[in-house]
Amino acid sequence: MKVRIETHGCKLNTADSQRLANDFARNGFSIAESNDTPDVFVLNSCTVTHVADKKARQALSKARRSFPNAIVVAAGCYAESGTDELEELAATDLVVPNTRKSELVSLVCSRSGMEWEEYTDAEPEVGQLLGRTRGAVKIQEGCDQVCAYCIVPKVRGRERSIPKSDIIAQVQALSSAGCPEVVLTGTQLGSYGFDFQDTDLVDMIASVLRETDIKRLRVSSLQPAEFSDELLELWNGVGKDRLCPHFHIPLQSGSDRILERMRRRYTGHSYLEAVDAAKQAVAGCSITTDVIVGFPGESEDDHKRTLDILTSAQLADAHIFPYSLRPGTSAANYEEQVEVNTRTRRAEQLRVIADQMAHEHRASFIGSVRPVLWEGARGTSGLTDNYLRVRLEPVEITRVAVGKGYGDGLIEEIKLNRLEGLQLIGSPAEV
């Protein structure tokens, strides 16, 4: 039987989907190709905003129309927060919340008549890839921070770390299967190892680098307070040329008053200090961020402070999200909800700055050479080590089309020649 897994949301969901693919493969399923009709369709959903919920419902309904004979499964974070709602959706056959995700494959097997084989988490991954360019490995799950706007603690639970030996085994299995890049992901990466006696985030990353042959290792998201000298030394030490020079540091707001109201554990000033520390320590790095616009009580002065901090930070990219009220969070009960029109206007102002920053950051690399990991069957578009999208020059695309180019999963040194919009255009560097 063939299974298709569609993933919405964060890198942590990607890691969960990777694990699901392994679980299905162990039980005799194959992963459906893009042109295959699957026997099982699994949506690994996101619920971070109401828009994410809507996209999940649309994806499930589309799957039912496209694959009327398939078993349609709703899984992931929306399946946890909106179990009843999804069970009432005509498109779904099974709803499997995060608290039961370890049972997902057995539930599908029972429904399909397949035999289910239980195995221990200690067994290494079999390397069944959802795409060949990069894999995601979960190092911890859950969050104890309880930010006022965030539903994640309710759908992911308390913080808990994955044993270091399991992480190393999973990374090496992916590398052995031909995956050139792995993303280390989790809900709160900086908390890694708090529940163990002999490791922490820095030690774990160093161990993965020393004990595996993965070509590129990427760290998904870090908080400002986590940028210690010891952490940053990894990029120039044991991780040199393998640890990707890209940092995702959520800002959410530049206003200290709003950050406190959000229950974030930093200030606008300490955020800029973390950005500066990363730039000083890791040459050529790219830094990306998230910003929530129109959080309850946000004034024009608060918004201006966010504009100022974002301008000062000079980042590679900023993802701007109008605040989305999530039932079950404390912010849902806050007074002074900002009007939708105001949120939209402020978001557009921030996107103007974000686009300017993105253009300037990419333009600064024109003329330089960066390693690019090619993606897709033709391998004409890919990402640099510092997370910049690159496309081959037209003449090089022609060579690829006639079989003289590169391909999915290969890393090549590429000279960045010019910029079209926000996409860099390059060609193979002369040796």
Q: Name the pLDDT band for 122 (thresholds 50, 70, 90).
A: very low
Backbone angles phi, psi at 25, to 5 degrees: -60, -40
Structure confidence at residue 116 (pLDDT): 60
Candidates 219, 190, 186; CA nearest to 385 is 219
Structural domain contains residue 336: yes
- Cβ within 8 Å of residue 184, ≥6 positions away: 137, 139, 167, 205, 208, 217, 218, 219, 220
- Structural contact between residues 154 and 328, judged by C-beta atoms closer than 8 angstroms: yes
pLDDT higher than 70, residue 353 = yes
Structural domain contains residue 123: no
DSSP code per residue over 343-355: HHHHHHHHHHHHH
In this structure, the answer to whether residues 313 and 401 fall within a common structural domain is: no
% pLDDT > 90, the chain: 79
% pLDDT > 70, the chain: 91
Structural domain contains residue 120: no
Model confidence pLDDT, tens digit, residues 207-265: 999 999 999 999 999 999 999 999 999 999 999 999 999 999 999 999 999 999 999 99
Q: Name the pLDDT band for 119 (thresholds 50, 70, 90).
A: low
Owning domain of residue 163: 133-244
The CATH number that applies at residue 288 is 3.30.750.200
Structural domain contains residue 117: no
Last residue of a domain, one of 364, 391, 420: 364
- Structural contact between residues 218 and 175, judged by C-beta atoms closer than 8 angstroms: no
In this structure, the answer to whether residues 170 and 277 fall within a common structural domain is: no
Structure confidence at residue 278 (pLDDT): 98
CA gap 252, 303 in Å, rounded: 11
Q: Name the pLDDT band for 379 (thresholds 50, 70, 90).
A: low
Structural domain contains residue 95: yes
Last residue of a domain, one of 244, 267, 292: 244
In this structure, the answer to whether residues 51 and 22 fall within a common structural domain is: yes
In this structure, the answer to whether residues 314 and 222 fall within a common structural domain is: no
Structural domain contains residue 274: yes
Higher pLDDT, 124 or 67: 67
Tokens encoding 392: 């081959």
In this structure, the answer to whether residues 220 and 330 fall within a common structural domain is: no
CA gap 147, 296 in Å, rounded: 13
Higher pLDDT, 36 or 119: 36
| Average pLDDT of the residues in 271-296 | 98
Structural domain contains residue 329: yes
User: Would you call 207 exposed, middle or buried from its count of C-beta atoms within 10 A (0-12, 13-18, 19+)?
Assistant: middle
Structural domain contains residue 306: yes
In this structure, the answer to whether residues 139 and 238 fall within a common structural domain is: yes
In this structure, the answer to whether residues 233 and 268 fall within a common structural domain is: no
Structure confidence at residue 401 (pLDDT): 44
- Structural contact between residues 49 and 19, judged by C-beta atoms closer than 8 angstroms: no
| Average pLDDT of the residues in 336-345 | 96
